[in-house]
Structure 1
Amino acid sequence: MLDWNGYREELKGRIGEIGKLSPDTVRGYSVLSGAGAKTGHLDAKTRELIALAVAVTTRCDGCITVHVDAALKHGASRDEIAEALGVAVALNAGAALIFSARVMDAVAAHPG
């Protein structure tokens, strides 16, 4: 298994390097990342649970390690995290089913 804590620290260092080379890129990401918190419609724990579900659907290990840390710090339980992941699994299965229907549509439209 991956050393998630070490990986998260390595990522911070690498992103820091990118920030030195391209500060506007990292600053822009920071603005986007913090925008939701400014509205106050969702609490931090809920945003982190959503982030974990999205991390799974986008297959982003960096997102997983950062948002697991944040979700736990904001009081998310293992059960809540598992439920959020269940949503991600269902959405990925749903997307596969939708695209399967598209494949069958393409098959039906094929002239041969």
Structure 2
Amino acid sequence: MTYSEQAQTGKKEYAALKEASPEVMGAFGDLHKANVKDGALTVKEKELIALGIAIATRCEGCILSHMNRLIKEGVSRDEVIETINTAVMMSGGPGTVYGGKALAYFDERQ
């Protein structure tokens, strides 16, 4: 399965969870909407932070989701690599595994 296919599966699973638990998932969605807008940090900067956290915490679904938004925001490969490098600095060896997944997905989408 490609990373793009995994991302589509994740969207379907999220939608099913939202249907099963609309109150909690609605609140989570509201939190996301309230944060992911330009402020002192741009949306792109916030999404780069989220990508770094997703790599460091080893959440493949989060990596795919935040990479999708970053691509919409016009992220460069160099920005992705620097974010991966920072995540590796904070998480060590596991960051190299999940950072590799993040870079592979970016490259797949290009």
Give TM-score scaled by structure 1 length.
Answer: 0.75
Going from structure 1 to structure 2, the CA distance change for 1:73 and 1:35 (only over 3 Å counts) comes to same
Larger Rg: 1
Equivalent position of 1:7 in the other structure? 6
Partner of 1:19: 18
Identity %: 34
Give the C-alpha shift of residue 3 in structure 1: 1.1
Following superposition, the deviation at residue 38 of structure 1 comes to 4.7
Q: Which runs of no fewer than 5 residues in structure 2 stay unpaired?
A: 93-110
Question: Whose RCO is larger (CA < 8 A, sep 6+)?
Answer: 2
Is the contact between residue 55 and residue 84 of structure 2 (CA under 8 Å) also seen in structure 1?
yes
- SS of equivalent residue, structure 2 residue 80: helix
Q: Which residue of 2 aligns with 1:80?
A: 79
- Unpaired runs of 5+ in structure 1? 94-112
Q: CA–CA distance in 2 between the matches of 1:14 and 1:72?
A: 22
For each residue in 1:67-96, what CA deviation from the matched residue of structure 2 results, as whole angstroms up to 9, or x when unmatched?
Answer: 111111101101001101111111124xxx
Tell me, in whole angstroms, the C-alpha distance in 2 between the residues paired with 1:92 and 1:59.
9
Q: 1:34 Cα deviation (Å)?
A: 2.1
* Distance in 1 between residues matched to 2:26 and 2:58, nearest whole Å: 23
TM-score, normalization by structure 2: 0.76
Contact 2:37 2:43 in 1 (8 A): no
Tell me the equivalent position of 2:27.
Answer: 28
| Alignment of structure 1 residues 1-112 onto 2, 5 Å | 2-38=1-37, 40-93=39-92
Q: Say what the alpha-carbon RMSD is for the aligned residues.
A: 1.5
User: What is the total number of aligned residue pairs between the two structures?
Assistant: 92
Secondary structure, counterpart of 1:76 in structure 2: coil
Distance in 2 between residues matched to 1:63 and 1:38, nearest whole Å: 18
